[in-house]
C-alpha cells in the first residue's frame, strides 16, 4: 500500500454537518464529525516515507500520476482533471520557451467498446489493438460484443494474425482485461477464456461486476461464468467463419 493515511472528508448537499473518515490501513477506520465549508467530498492520501526498497515520492510526479490514470481510469464517464506542465513559446518570442501549468482532462471518458459499431472503422479497432499492446501484428479478426440480457457487458475480442512470441513458454499468461463500469480491475482474467482459446486478446467491461471483487470471489461469480460462456460461443462462431472462407 502506497498511502500511510487515507482521509475522506464529506459534506452532503443541504447538510450543515461534515464527517471525516480516516484509516491507516491496519485495523479498521474512524468516523467523526468535522468542519467543511463547501459541499462535496475530499480524499487526501498521505504517502509513506521513502525506504531503501521503495521510493513513494514517485507517485507525486506528474508523469506517474498520468500513467496511473490512463491505465486504470481512462474510460470512466467522468472527467479526471489535473495540472499538466507544458512547454510553450513565450508571447511574441518564437525562439524562447517557458513551462506553463494548465488544468487538463487526462482520461478519454468514452471507450471504443461503448461506441456504436456503425461509428467505427476497421482502423479504429486496429489502433486500439496497438494502443493496448495486445500485439505488434494486425489482428486477423475482431469481435465487438454488446450484451444486455441476464448479464450486461461490452467486449472487444481479437484473434491475432500470429501467435504471441512467448505463447509456448511458461511465462505466457492467458486472459482478457476486465473492467467494471470503465475501471480496470484485472489486467488478465484467465477465467474468461478456456485454455484452447488462450491466444485470444481483448477486454470485457461489465456493470454487473463489483469494483472491490477479489480474484478468489471472481472465480465463483455467476456473471463472470455467463460472460465466459458467451465469449467462448462467439469465438467458436468466428473461427468457423474463417475456416469456411
Which helix (H) or strand (E) segment holds residue 222: the answer is helix 222-244
Residue 178 in contact with residue 209, Cβ under 8 Å?
yes
Kindly state the cell numbers that stand for 119: 461509428
**pLDDT at 147 exceeding the cut of 90:** yes
Q: Which pLDDT band, with edges at 50, 70 and 90, does 236 fall under?
A: very high
Q: Check: pTM over 0.85? Answer yes or no.
A: no
- What is the arithmetic mean of pLDDT over 19-36? 91
User: What domains are there in the chain, each with its CATH number?
Assistant: 1-55 (no CATH), 61-109 (no CATH), 112-244 (3.30.230.80)
CB burial class (10 A; 0-12, 13-18, 19+) of residue 34?
middle
Residue 39 in contact with residue 23, Cβ under 8 Å?
no
Return the SS3 of 128.
helix
DSSP string, 133-188: TS-SS-EEEEEEEEEESSSEEEEEEEEESS--TTTTSTT----EEEEETTEEEEEE
Which helix (H) or strand (E) segment holds residue 125: the answer is helix 122-131
Tell me what percent of the residues of the chain surpass a pLDDT of 90.
52
Distance separating alpha carbons of residues 201 and 160, to the nearest angstrom: 7
Return the SS3 of 114.
helix
Q: Which pLDDT band, with edges at 50, 70 and 90, does 74 fall under?
A: confident
Least confident of 131-140, 221-230, 234-243: 131-140
Q: Which of 19-23, 60-64, 113-117 has the highest mean pLDDT?
A: 19-23
- What is the arithmetic mean of pLDDT over 198-208? 94
Residue 144 in contact with residue 159, Cβ under 8 Å?
no
pLDDT at 2: 80
Q: Which pLDDT band, with edges at 50, 70 and 90, does 67 fall under?
A: confident
Considering the chain, what is the average pLDDT of its residues? 89
CA distances from 72 to 154, 177, 178, 195, 232 (A): 17, 11, 11, 26, 26
Amino acid at each position: 500500500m502506497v498511502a500511510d493515511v487515507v482521509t475522506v472528508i464529506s459534506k452532503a448537499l443541504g447538510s450543515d454537518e461534515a464527517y471525516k473518515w480516516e484509516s491507516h490501513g491496519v485495523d479498521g477506520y474512524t468516523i467523526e464529525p468535522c468542519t467543511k465549508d463547501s459541499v462535496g467530498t475530499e480524499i487526501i492520501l498521505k504517502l509513506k516515507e521513502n525506504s531503501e526498497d521503495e521510493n513513494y515520492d514517485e507517485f507525486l510526479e506528474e508523469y506517474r500520476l498520468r500513467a496511473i490514470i490512463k491505465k486504470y481510469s481512462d474510460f470512466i464517464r467522468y472527467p479526471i482533471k489535473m495540472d499538466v506542465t507544458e512547454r510553450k513559446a513565450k508571447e511574441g518570442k518564437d525562439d524562447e520557451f517557458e513551462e506553463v501549468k494548465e488544468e487538463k482532462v487526462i482520461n478519454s471518458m468514452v471507450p471504443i467498446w461503448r461506441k456504436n459499431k456503425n461509428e467505427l472503422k476497421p482502423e479504429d479497432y486496429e489502433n486500439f489493438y496497438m494502443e493496448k499492446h495486445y500485439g505488434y501484428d494486425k489482428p486477423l479478426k475482431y469481435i465487438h460484443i454488446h450484451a444486455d440480457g441476464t448479464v450486461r457487458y461490452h467486449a472487444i475480442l481479437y484473434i491475432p494474425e500470429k501467435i504471441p512470441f512467448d505463447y509456448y513458454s511458461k511465462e505466457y499468461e492467458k486472459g482478457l482485461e476486465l473492467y467494471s463500469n470503465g475501471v480496470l480491475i484485472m489486467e488478465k482474467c484467465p477465467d474468461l477464456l478456456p485454455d484452447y482459446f488462450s491466444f485470444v486478446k481483448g477486454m470485457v467491461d461489465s456493470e454487473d461486476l463489483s469494483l472491490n471483487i477479489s480474484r478468489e470471489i471472481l472465480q465463483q461469480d455467476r456473471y463472470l461464468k455467463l460472460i465466459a460462456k458467451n465469449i467462448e460461443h462467439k469465438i467458436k462462431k468466428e473461427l468457423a467463419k474463417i475456416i469456411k472462407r
